[in-house]
Every structure is written in C-alpha cells, then in structure tokens.
Chains A and B, each alone.
Chain A
Amino acid sequence: MPSLRDIRRRIKSVKNTAQLTRALQLVAASRMRRAQQRVLAARPYAEAMRELIGELAGQSRAAGADLHPLLAHRTVAGVGVVLITPDRGLAGPLNTNIIRRGTEVIMREEGQSLNVQVVTAGRKGQDFLARRGRKLLGTFTGIIDRGAYDDAIPIARLVMDSYASGAIDRCFLVYPRFVSTLVQRPEVVQLLPVEGPATADDAANTGKDLEYIYEPNPGAILEALLPRYVEVQIYQALLETAASEQSARMVAMRNATDNAKELVQTYTLTYNKIRQAGITREVTEIASAAEAMAASSR
C-alpha cells in the first residue's frame, strides 16, 4: 500500500498537469473560434470559384478549343503531393491521422511506380517525412496560424511551376478538413490538372444550358481564373488545417483536464481511506491498550 506521503505527492503532480492542460485548452478555445470563423467565411468564395471553373471548363471542352495547360490531362509519370499539417502537436489524433493519410497517398502512387514529389506546409508533416529520409520538393512552416492569403501564393507557384516544367503531371492536396469542433477528416483532393465540379449537383445549380457572353473570351478568363483557383484551394486548405488544429487541441486538452480531475478524485479517495484506516487502527490500539491496563490494575 502506498504511503500517505506518496499519494499526496501524486495528487499534487496531477493537479499541476491539469493546470497546464487547462491553460492550453483555454488558449486553443479562443484561437479555435477565430480559426473557425475564418474558414467558414472563406468557403463561399472557394465554392463560387469551383462553380465558375466547372462552367468554363465545360464550355472550353464543348467549343473544342485548346484546353488550358492546367486543365489538360497528360500521361502521368510524376506526381506531386502537397501535405498540409499543423506546426505543433498536442492536438489529439489529428497529426497522426493526417500524416497517415498523406503516407497512404504517397505509397499508393509509388506503388504504381510513379515518381512522387512532396511539398509540406506545417512542421509536423515535414518532420515526419524528413525522419524517414524523404527528400522534399519544398517546405513551408509558420504559416498555418497566420491564415494569410499571401502565404498560399508561393506554394501554388511552386506546384504550378513544377507542373509546367513537367516534373509532375498530377498533384494532390492532402489536409485535415474541418467538419466540426469534434470531427476533422483527412481529405485528398486533386489540385492539378484542375477538375470541374465534383458532383453533378453543382453543375446543375449553375445552369449549364445558359448561353454566356464572355468578356474578353473563355480562354482569357480561364487564364486569369485557374492560377487563382489553385491558390484559393491551397489557401482554403491552410484555413481548414488551422481550424482543425485548434479544435482538435481544444478537445484533447479538455479530455486531459477532465481525466486529471478524475484521477485527483480517485487519489483523494484512496488517500482518505488510508488515512481513516490509520486512525481506526490507532483508536483500536489505544482502546485495547487502555482495556488491558484496566484489567491488570483491577
């Protein structure tokens, strides 16, 4: 049986941990609110852009015109993977999940004997892949928390340049999509070549049969729209990652705090039991001693 002093020490240590996790929880909670607002505010633009692309891509295919290079499907020899992860840990299973998904994609493509080039944004993914001795095409850190559009531009540039030079013929974007505070889902989307709307539903909503007037012309609009679209996809993924990170951390730290409180309760109970047992023992000892003395003096 542990001594009272041991238990007292344990309780104190658990309480310290609880204080720490609680502080982290509060910080994450306030950052989470901001990050969630940001990602929700940015979604309408990304969606509107997706619809526009679908509209134009359909149009330019129907016209039999030369497809924009970013839309053209080529024979695939090299594949790019953009892996977006948080910079920091203490976010529950989030990092493990997203890195596992990223690794799956890399393995799958390499399994088809394709040359895979990885770009990471976020320290966690970078560290993991670097530890496994993988050479990275590019690494970006310290940008998840900022949520600035300008941070998405160099990543998009790198990917599009590699695509233009023929180093990669297809590119995937892997990031944790923010679904709710409790749910973040690793998501894989094809960044290049740009695909139209994912579902037939989207296409129906935009009114496929409308005869648009294009100014200056579909090609020129695509020319302006596509690079912007790639940037927006990456920007959106950065925001999703930030919201996911803070949400996952908030929940993980809340669980940790709750667990610590429970532990303190169990320890306190044991502590009191042992204390009470000690007192009872002493009382019986004194009582029996007193009785023995009374008996002998009689």
Chain B
Amino acid sequence: METRKTTCPFCLNGCTSAVVFDGYQYRMEYPSEAEVNRGRLCPRGNSASIVIDHPKRLAYPLLDGRAISWDEAANLVRGWRAAVRPEQVALVYSRGRGEDEVRRLFGLAREIGTKHVVCGHIEPENALGCRLEGTKDATLADVEFAKAMLLVGDVFNTSPVAVWRMLDARYADRKNRLVVIDSVRTRQSGFAHSFIQVRPGTEPLAMVALAALLDKNIKADLDKLATAAGVARGQLEAAAAMLAPAVPGFVGVAAHFGRVFHPLLHSLAGQLVAKAAGKPFVGFRETSLPPGGEDFTALRAALKAGEVRLLFWTGGMYPDSYAEVFPEAARAEYRVATSIFVPDPPVPGLVLPVTAELERAATASTYWGPASREPLAPPLSGSRDFGRVVELLGTAAEADLPARVEHKPAAVVEMAHKAAGLKRGGEGVLLLGEKKAIGLRGFYEPEDRLALNPTDAGSLGVDGDSFVRVTSPVGARDFGVLVSGQIPAGTATVGTNVHENRALFPLAVDEVSGMTTVAPVNVKIEKLASRVQAPSEHAPDRRGARYMLH
C-alpha cells in the first residue's frame, strides 16, 4: 500500500493530508509529523478521498448534457474560436485554479488579443487578498503565543484546523483574551471573552470604530459607526482595552458567502484594526485568486451588451450554481466550462472534464507561506490537465499578473462612513449564508434546514417539525426548520456548501466599491403542509426521480 501526502487545497491553512490506496479504494491518513496540523484535518480535508473516486466525477466532455468525445469537443472549441473576433472572447477563472494556471490564462488573453480576462471568484472571501498599506502578515508563532485575539466572522468554520493554536493560546493564561465580532451568535462566540453582535453585514463599521478607539490618529465618527452597527460604544471601548497595542496577538477575519455587503471594506477594515492594535493580520479563506485584468461587473455589462460571444469559464461555481444566478452567461453564443463533477442539472454549452486539484502538483500559497503540493492520486481517466484544455484556445506561455493595489487607511474610513449612511430594508426575512465546515457539496450533510429566530418562527407559525419554502429573487428551495435563539430576529440562515442553497443568493453589486459579490438577500418564507425534497448527493440516481414526496 502506498501513502501519498499533499498540502490540502480546501483552505489556505496548508494542512498536510494523505491518502492510502489499498488497490481497491482511497482512504484518508493523518500524518502526525506535519508542523501546521499534526495530522489533524477538518471535515473538508476529510473529503479528499471522496473527491478522488466520487461516482459523479466527470470523465468525458458534455455538450448540452450529452456525452461526446474529446476529438469532437476539440473541433467544436477550435471552430467556435475561429467564428468569433478576438475581442469577443472572455476568459474567466475561479476557485480551483492555481496561480500558475491564472498566469497561463493571462498569457492566452494576450495571445488572443482580448481584454476580458476576469476573476470569477466573486465570493466575499476573495477580497481578503486585498492589501492595506503597512499590514503585517501573521505567522504561526503569532497565533500560538497570542495573548489578545480579535476574530471577525466565523473563523472556526473557515479553517477549523487553525483553531487549535488559538484555543491553546486562549487557555494558556487566564488573562488572555478573545474578542469576536459577528452578526450571528456562532459556536465561536461561545469561546469569546467579549462577543460583539452587530447588525448583519456591518462588521466593518464596528472594526473601523474599534480602530479609531485604538489609534487616535484615525479620525472616524464613532457614534455614527457604532449606531449603524447596532453596538453600544461601551462594548467597543471594553474590546479596545483587551486588544491594546502592547499585548501580543493577531487579528483574524473571515468573510462568508451571503453574509457581507461590502467585501473590500470588510477586508480593509480588518487590516486597519490590526494596524491600529499593532498586531499582524490573517484573512481566513478557502482560496485566494489574483484580480483579473477586468472586473466581474464589467464582464456582466459586456455580456449584456452582446460584446462577448465565446465565454470560457474555468473553476468555481459555474456551471453548477451560477447557471441560475448568472443569467448574463446565457447571452454568450458559445459557452465552454470546465468541471470535475457532472453538472446537475445539465447546463447548455460544452463542459470539459479537468483533473482535480488533488491530482496535480503545484505551489500552494497558505496563510503561513508557500507550500508544495504533490498529487494525491493519478488523474482520472478521461479528464485532462488544465494546460491541455487551454491548448484548445491557444499555446501562449505564462504572463505576469497585474500588481496588487495598496489601499490607504484614510480611504477605508471614508468607505465606512459611506456604508454607514446607506439605508437597508425590504420585505421579508433577510437570508444569511452560514459557513459550516461540514464538507464539500453536502458530502456529509444535505444542508436542508433553515435556521430561524423563535420570534420569526412564531409569527410564521412554524416549529422544529415544520417545512417551509424559501423564495428568493433567483430561486426557491424547501427546507426543514431549526428554531434557534442564536439567529438574530428578522434573519434566517442556511448552510452554503450545497449548490441548491448557493443558488438562492443573487449576484449583487457592492455600493461602496462597485465589486460584484454575493450579499444577504431578502426572501419570502412560506409554511408548507408537506415537504418536496430533492434527494441527497448519494442517492443512487438523481436524474431518474428528481423529486420525491414524503
């Protein structure tokens, strides 16, 4: 039996994971000598063996949901490429693509002669890669020997394996302090000495207010920011005392799908408070992709205007979740996507099978520095390496990426004031995305429960045995109900690992930065007499009986 080790690709903590192939199946192994994780893995890390030999892996090209040969697919792509002008081609990269692969796409865009090379990873977490002037990155030692920690968002569910050092530091001395800022009372908040519960999406306002309390040079309207965030000023002052610059520690920020209105501000405000508190910063996220040559918002406009005829999308949620929420994609005459799983439901256009991240060597960037990634398993038969897929469009070598912009602290305060002045409202309940470390694509849980505040549950007339239909502007799904006091009144939360739930959140444009993102959305909730449930990921055949009543 052969054991293969690699750096886990499911978040940036850089855990070493391993699989053993016993000639019949892949099994996870936990190498205890790894410095970062000492053999520990979160549920996502434990999914590696499932991804490798999952029965839904895509092993042949699909054209409008029908299997075709690679030769037919190659001829189609070359024909489509020849049928459109260079500037009508758009290349989009998203989650799952490494930095080397993105450089290759930039080279290809230059060779083709198109400006449309776009980062399609529009989840708020990708904004955590943006930099504020003078921010210092945290090291493992900063976490291990921290005496004061500020966590924003659900860090525990974003990178669970990074948490053991935090908990060790928290319990090492009774004087050590953990401050948590979040809109939902998550499990992480149960470990906090000070939990600051803010209005949904207003975490950056509380962070800028905290930064202004820690550093007198930051001029911000404290009362305006605290009121907009729904926090008492005294609570912020108590937290500022815990995070005094003389105390070593770090600031960790996570930004989740469907929880953040202003992703860029969220990231920069976290870095501003870290700078004000004299602490290093770490942006907890699952993946980090460089910004594209063009913004995603501009791509949507170009698609709408009919300026893009050939759309090549690789990685991320398209074609699975974006098929509904990204209607502009349908405006492209020719659509080529890559996927490692069979899209369900089938999508129009061409879908090409590529090797999974776990099946290729790469240099991985982690919170704690670069790490090498070796393949855990040989590529799935029928799938192709990303480089060979790109060759269908052109043969260019890698090109340099655009330099990252460094933002100024004064601009962050200005953005926060602008965000504090925005009015929010709307009918129905505000649906928030919930980060759960329970695995990928619902491998371990179908995420078919909607968490509701007891007051809202009472007004809807539902309890833990009820079923409800949630209708958002872009879709609907039926859920069981979980009544929980942890959820703020007027809001509801759903897990966002499964595509069915992600597809409830429409694309939104951040009013502060102009970035396209996935923000909380107002939804309609109706009580159901019985439940119509989609079968789980592991149902023997999802296509035969898509829905069953029970």
A binds B: no
Q: Which residues of B contact A (CB under 8 A)?
A: none
